[in-house]
Amino acid sequence: MTDIDILLSEAERCLMCKKPNCKAGCPINTSIPDIIKLYKEDKIMEAGEILFKNNPLSVVCSLVCIHEDQCEGNCIRGIKGDPIRFHDIENEISTRYLEEATFKSVEKDKDRVAIIGGGPAGITIAFILSQRGYKVTIFDDNEKIGGVLRYGIPEYRLPKKILDKLEEKLIESGVYIRPNALIGPVLTIDRLLEDGYKAVFIGTGVWNPKTLDIKGETLGNVHFAIDYLKSPLSFRLGQKVAVIGGGNVAMDAARSAKRYGAKEVTIIYRKGFDEMPATKKEITEAREDGVIFELFKAPLEITEEGIKLAFTENITDSNGKIQTKIISGKEQFFECDSVIVAVSQTPRTNIVSNTDNLNANKWGLLITDEKGNTTKKGTFACGDVVTGAKTVVEAVAQAKIVAETIEKYCENA
C-alpha cells in the first residue's frame, strides 16, 4: 500500500460522530470529521484552506501537537482499539495546500501593524491581519523567522523547510520581514508608534534559561538546553552527556545529543516518570533512542568531571500532596563530559526595560487581559511571553483572539 492508500484507509475508519470528541479535544477546535470527509472526496485544497483559515500553523501542529491528549486521545475509536491518526491526514493536506496554493496579497488599505517576534503567535497574527488589508511588518532578532519552531524544536521533529515555506507564504501575502532586528535598546516600541504603526504586537517568547542556582553552572562544560537546541552543531559535548530536567525540552536536547554523536546520554530528574512534565510519547521515544534515565536524583554541584547528586524521595505531606525531598546523607557522583541544563525559560527584558508603561509580573512575563491588551496603549501580546512555555497550538489559539483585538483597536482608536 502507498502512503496515500494508508491514509485513505485510516480516513475510512472515522465514525463521523455527530458530536465529535476529537474536535472538542482540539485546543483550536479543528473540524476533524468535515476535513476527513473532504479528504475522502479528494477535495484536498478545499480541506487545506479550511485548516489554514482555522489554524495558519496547521502543518506544524500536525507534527508537534500532543495528539495523544487531544484529537487522538478523545477519539471514540480509541476506546476499544486504535484512535484515528488524524494528524497524519492533516499533515498530508496542509503540506499539499502550502505547496500548491497561491497566497494573493490583498490591497493594503488599512493601518500599519508591527509584530515583534516571528514565532507561532507572531506568524499567526501576521497571516490574519495581512489578509485583512493591514500593512504588517515582522521584526525578528534572528536571521530567520520561526522562533521556538526553528530554534527550539529539533529538525527531526519539525523540518526547517516547513518554516521556510511559511515564510514564503507570508511574503506572498504582502508581509514585510526585518531579520536580525532587535526591538528594545535602539528600535523602541515608542519609535514604532511614532513612525506610524497603529498597533504593536509582542510575541517574543521565553529565551532566558532558568538556572539551577548551584555551584559550577558557569563552567565550560555546562550548557543551557535552549542555547544548545538553537545550534547543536556548534557544541562539543563529548561522549558522555548529562541532561538535567524532565520536560519536553530536556527530551529534545537529549535526543539531539544522541543524534549528533554522543555515545551515552543520561537524563537526570529529581522525580519519577509519573511526575515528568514531558509527554509520554517524548519519554518513550527518548528511551527508544537509547537515552538513559537517572530518576530521583537532584544536582548539588557541577564540576568539570561531572555532577554531585543527592538522592530524593516522594513523601506525602499533611495535606495529602506529594512532595519531593532530598534524602539527607545519601549522595552520588555522576561522571560526564558535559552537562545540559533544561529547567525552563523566562522572557528577556530588553523590551520591558526600554518601554514606559509596559508592565511585567515577577517572573518577567508580560501582563495582559484575556484579549491580549498589555498595560501600554496600542501594544498587545500573547504566547509564551505572557503565559510561559506552552504548546504551539495554544499560542495559535490565543493569537487568533488577539488578532481580533488588534483589528478592533485599529478601527476605533
What's the rounded mean pLDDT across residues 283-291? 97
Reply yes or no on whether the pLDDT at 413 is more than 90: no
Residues 374 and 405 sit within 8 Å (Cβ to Cβ): no
Q: Which of 315, 309, 363, 367 is nearest to 339 (CA)?
A: 309
Q: For the domain covering 209-341, report its CATH number.
A: 3.50.50.60
Give me 95's grid cell: 503540506
Tell me the per-residue pLDDT of 68-93, one tens digit each, with 9 for 90 and over: 999 999 999 999 999 999 999 999 99
Model confidence at 330, pLDDT cuts 50, 70, 90, reads: very high
Percent of the chain with pLDDT over 70: 100
What's the rounded mean pLDDT across residues 90-97? 97
Distance CA 232, CA 225 (A): 9
Sorted by where each begins, the domain ranges of the chain are: 3-100, 112-207+347-412, 209-341
Reply yes or no on whether the pLDDT at 1 is more than 70: no
Residues 313 and 324 sit within 8 Å (Cβ to Cβ): yes
Reply yes or no on whether the pLDDT at 321 is more than 90: no
Q: What is the mean pLDDT of the chain?
A: 96
Reply yes or no on whether the pLDDT at 302 is more than 80: yes
- Domain topology for 3-100: Fumarate Reductase Iron-sulfur Protein; Chain B, domain 2 (1.10.1060)
Considering only residues 413 and 195, tell me which one the structure prediction assigns the higher pLDDT: 195
Conformational region of residue 133, where left means phi above 0, alpha means psi within -120 to 50, and beta covers everything else: left
Give me 14's grid cell: 472515522
- Domains 3-100 and 209-341 belong to one CATH topology: no
Give pLDDT, residue 317: 81
Residues 128 and 400 sit within 8 Å (Cβ to Cβ): yes
Radius of gyration of the chain (CA): 23
Q: With respect to CATH, is domain 112-207+347-412 assigned 3.40.50.300?
A: no
What predicted TM-score, i.e. pTM, was given to this entire model? 0.94
Specify the DSSP element, H or E, that contains 229: helix 225-230
